[in-house]
Structure 1
Amino acid sequence: MSVRVRRVYDPPEPDDGVRVLVDRLWPRGVSKDAARVDEWPKGLTPSTELRRWYHAGEGPYEEFARRYEAELTDPEAAELLDHVRELAAKGPVTLLTSAKSPEQSHTAVLVRLLEADQH
Structure 2
Amino acid sequence: MIHCKRVYLDAQASDGQRVLVDRLWPRGISKDALALAEWLPDVAPSTALRKSFAHRNEAFDDFRSAYRRELAGHPEHWQRLLHWAMNGTLTLLYAARDEEHNNAQVLAEFLQDELQRHDSPSSPVCYQGEFDGH
1:1-119 map, 5 Å = 2-55=1-54, 57=56, 60-75=59-74, 78-119=75-116
Letter in 1 for 2:38: E
Which one is further off, 47-56 or 9-18? 47-56
The percentage of counterpart residues that share the same residue type is 37
TM-score (norm 1): 0.89
Aligned-pair distance for 1:56? Answer: 7.2
Deviation per residue, 1:34-80 (Å, 9 max, x gap): 211211111100011111111174x61100111111111233xx112
How far apart in 2 are the matches of 1:56 and 1:37? 24
> Who wins on radius of gyration, i.e. which is larger?
2
- Relative contact order, higher structure (CA 8 A, sep 6+): 1
Number of residue equivalences: 116
**Matched position secondary structure for 2:78:** helix
Two-structure CA RMSD over aligned residues (Å):
1.7
Contact 2:55–2:102 (CA under 8 A) maintained in structure 1: no
Q: Unpaired runs of 5+ in structure 1?
A: none
Letter in 2 for 1:90: N
**Matched position secondary structure for 1:32:** coil
**Matched position secondary structure for 1:118:** helix
Pick the structure with more helix per residue.
1
Q: Unpaired runs of 5+ in structure 2?
A: 117-134
